[in-house]
Amino acid sequence: MIWRHLITLGCIALGESLMILAQVYGAKASSLGQPLVNFFKLNNWYGWVTILGALIVLLGYLYGIKSAGQNIWLVTLTSWTAIIIVEVSLNWFVFGNLPQSNVRLGFILVLIGFILANI
């Protein structure tokens, strides 16, 4: 049973990571002067990575809803937690930016909530 939750978490975390990676690098490119219209042209890796990430997240949701006993809220909470963890990590690696103390507290509370929901 636990391996099903790990597969769901892995798919959702990987898909969210790919989408957020494309978003963060897109934001960085935009801040360096690249026009916004270039992101909609799919002639860059951002668009394709976003599409791949969305498909993997969809797979995680479809598998997760079956493994979580039709509990969409547990799967959604998994997705939200993955987004928060990946977003903080990638912003730190790409921009060298860590959240301030009040945001760190929120980050910790999200992790605690995720753990409590899975007990």
Instruction: Tell whether pTM > 0.75.
Output: no
- Ranked by mean pLDDT, which of 19-23, 49-53, 87-91, 109-113 comes out on top? 49-53
Domain coverage including residue 73: 2-117
Number of domains in the chain: 1
Q: Is the pLDDT of residue 27 over 80?
A: no
Digit-coded pLDDT (tens) for 75-96:
888 888 888 888 888 778 877 7
CB atoms within 10 A of CB 25: 16
In whole angstroms, give the CA distance from residue 57 to residue 75. Answer: 11
Contact, 24 vs 94, CB < 8 A?
Answer: yes
Q: Is the pLDDT of residue 118 over 80?
A: no
